[in-house]
Amino acid sequence: MIKVTRFNGKIFYVNCDLIEFLESTPDTVITTTTGKKIVVSESVEEVIHRIIQFKGKIYCYKEQEFEKAQSPESAAES
């Protein structure tokens, strides 16, 4: 989930796996796979940056968990 801001200042979170389109019209419009359109104050570039950061954290965590499971210490505990 990524944090975004509506024009009224309300902060909320969007499931970035459901984002289908990002448009700059000039306001940033997020269109989800369900067809919902959300106008946010962040730029398209900022939304993309937040998606990359979020996905990077997930993949880093998964890689660390995999490496931990494959370590000799983990095998000795089994």
How much is the pLDDT for 76?
Answer: 56
Map 6-58 to HEC letters.
CCCCCEEEECHHHEEEEEECCCEEEEECCCCEEEECCCHHHHHHHHHHHHHHH
How much is the pLDDT for 74?
Answer: 55
52-75: pLDDT as tens digits: 999 988 877 666 776 777 776 655
How much is the pLDDT for 73?
Answer: 65
Domain extents in the chain: 2-71
> Is the pTM here over 0.85, yes or no?
no
How much is the pLDDT for 49?
Answer: 97
4-21: pLDDT as tens digits: 999 999 999 999 999 999
